[in-house]
Structure 1
Amino acid sequence: MLDLGLPLDAPDLARASLPEIDGLEAPSASLLAIIVSHGHRDHWGLIPKVQATIPLAMGAATEAIMAAASRFVPGGVALNAAYHLVSGKPMSIGPFKIIPHLVDHSGFDAYALEIEAGGKRLFYSGDLRAHGRKGSLFERLVRNPPENIDIMLMEGSSLGRLANDQRFPSETDLEEGFLRRFEETSGIALVACSAQNIDRVVTIYRAAKRAGRTLLVDAYAAEVLSATGYATIPKPEHGWPNVAVYIPQSQRVQLVKNGIAPLVDKYRDFRLWPEQLRDKAGRLVMLFRGWMMQDLDRADALAGARVIWSQWDGYLADGAGARLRADCERRGIPFETLHTSGHASVPDLKRLASAIRPCRLIPIHTFGRNQFPSLFDNVTLAEDGEWIDV
Structure 2
Amino acid sequence: GDTGWPGGRIDALLLTHGHLDHCGAMAFLDPSIPVVASPTTVALLRAWQESGKSDLTSEVTYLAPRREVADSGGRLIETDRSAAKPGREFRTIGDAPTALVGLLDRSPYSGDRTRFEPGKVAPAPRRLGDGLRVDAYPVDHSVYGAMAFVLEADGGPVAYSGDLRFHGEKGPQTEAFVRALESRPPELLIVEGTRLTARDDVPHPAQISEDDVQRNCRARVEEYPDRLVVADFGPRNVERLRRFRRIALATGRQLVVTPGRLPAAPPPRVGSVDRGRSRPGRHADPPGADDPHPALARPRG
Query: TM-score band, normalised by the shorter chain?
Result: 0.5 to 0.7
1:140 aligns with 2:176: yes
- Aligned twin of 1:125: 161
- Aligned twin of 1:99: 135
Task: Check the 8 A contact 2:143/2:238 in 1, yes or no.
Answer: yes
C-alpha change, 1:251 and 1:64, in structure 2 (3 Å) is farther
What are the equivalent positions in structure 2 for 1:209-288 lying under 5 Å apart? 209-225=249-265, 234-235=266-267, 240=268, 243-249=269-275, 267=282
SS at structure 1 position matched to 2:166 = coil
Task: Check the 8 A contact 2:235/2:261 in 1, yes or no.
Answer: yes
2:59 to 77, 102, 107: 77
2:222 to 154, 170, 183: 183
- Aligned twin of 2:110: none
What are the equivalent positions in structure 2 for 1:1-390 lying under 5 Å apart? 30-74=9-53, 75=55, 76-79=58-61, 80-86=88-94, 91-94=126-129, 95-118=131-154, 120-145=156-181, 146-159=183-196, 163=202, 165-185=204-224, 186-225=226-265, 234-235=266-267, 240=268, 243-249=269-275, 267=282
C-alpha change, 1:181 and 1:25, in structure 2 (3 Å) is farther
Identical aligned residues as a percent: 25
> Counterparts of 1:91 and 1:43 in 2: how far apart (Å)?
22
Task: Check the 8 A contact 1:103/1:134 in 2, yes or no.
Answer: yes
Task: Check the 8 A contact 2:11/2:33 in 1, yes or no.
Answer: yes
- Aligned twin of 1:324: none
Task: Check the 8 A contact 1:67/1:77 in 2, yes or no.
Answer: no
Displacement of 1:166 = 2.9
Q: TM-score, normalised by structure 1?
A: 0.50
> Counterparts of 1:165 and 1:266 in 2: how far apart (Å)?
41
> Counterparts of 1:69 and 1:37 in 2: how far apart (Å)?
17
Task: Check the 8 A contact 1:116/1:122 in 2, yes or no.
Answer: yes
Q: TM-score, normalised by structure 2?
A: 0.64
Displacement of 1:96 = 1.2
Task: Check the 8 A contact 1:183/1:211 in 2, yes or no.
Answer: yes
Displacement of 1:56 = 1.4
C-alpha change, 1:138 and 1:23, in structure 2 (3 Å) is same
> Counterparts of 1:197 and 1:179 in 2: how far apart (Å)?
18
Displacement of 1:64 = 1.2
> Counterparts of 1:64 and 1:269 in 2: how far apart (Å)?
17
Displacement of 1:184 = 1.8
SS at structure 1 position matched to 2:178 = helix
Q: Which runs of 5+ in 1 are unaligned?
A: 1-21, 226-233, 253-263, 271-390
Task: Check the 8 A contact 1:58/1:81 in 2, yes or no.
Answer: no
Corresponding residue pairs, total:
223
Task: Check the 8 A contact 1:86/1:100 in 2, yes or no.
Answer: no
> Counterparts of 2:125 and 2:176 in 1: how far apart (Å)?
18
C-alpha RMSD over aligned residues? 3.3
Name the structure where helix makes up a greater proportion of residues. Answer: 1
> Counterparts of 1:124 and 1:26 in 2: how far apart (Å)?
22
Q: Which runs of 5+ in 2 are unaligned?
A: 62-87, 96-123, 286-301
